[in-house]
Structure 1
């Protein structure tokens, strides 16, 4: 405890003396002085002949404009210039290679360079054919898959049509055998295919008999009908 008290007393004396010397330096020498002190407890003490903030900003500007930093910036600039030159040369080489692959500017090439170019073109052609074959196989597989789907749909439609036809036939047979309510409970008579085969319905006769005359009869039909009429009423 006594040790800390002694340190605090010593700090106060030295701090005051240091602040006095800084003030005297700024006044006697016309210098820009800034002083910052932190105690052991974290307390801040400062002195500035003009302004501590302005003095610190000036210090930072001077540090950034240090000759050492200038040399570093110059070296970085040279490195970037070299990188740009390297990329430019690579770009020109790629353009020249592209023209060669297209069959242009082949005059300056030597026999070995032409052979290497031929090998590159053959390799590229093989890869292009392989890719083409792969794409064609994929397309064929897709078409087969669609064909199978359409075949399944066609089978389902056939089954539906057959079921509907069976239903219609069953309904038609039910209607054909259904009794007619206005015909005394007898089944419905289906007309014959030939209209000449239809049997005549019986005719209600009152008071006379129906006589049929042959084709060879000499009496006319009207007279036969009249005689039958009178005979019937005379009975």
Structure 2
């Protein structure tokens, strides 16, 4: 005779329910013991009847299995719910990645790329940004040109000053006695004339000052 398949639902008859609970509980504990023995598994079972009575089974120590379960639950909770610092770090990394992607897209648009998906308003904003950038570049260019012109003007003034100084040095050189004779030579000639005897006869009584003629 085959066993009839019963419908899995609450048994309304209290006596039949208690009998079924007792049989199924013993069968459940037997299966747990077999599983622990065959597979070297650590098993703990706790069953409360509808009257509140506790029935339990443990392959080793019930307290040890419960502590192991609690520790595993804490570790699992930490992995599923990261710390606040880790959450902030992940949030910052996500924000930086988005900002980097946005700036990269803006840079490409400034170069005239990826303009097809932009709206009229975005294109007008981009045009205004480019016009402002061109204005600033033009101002910087004009500033640099003015500075270069000032440097050139300063160099030209220095050139004129050097030319004037060179001219004054040449003029000072022309004012010295020719052929390199100095006033010391004139003094030596006058001393030689003073040593001539007074009775020296000469038809030319005039005194001529000057450099002696070579023989």
TM-score in terms of structure 1 length: 0.43
Q: Which has the larger radius of gyration?
A: 1
TM-score normalized with structure 2 length: 0.47
More relative contact order, 1 or 2 (CA 8 Å, 6+ apart): 2
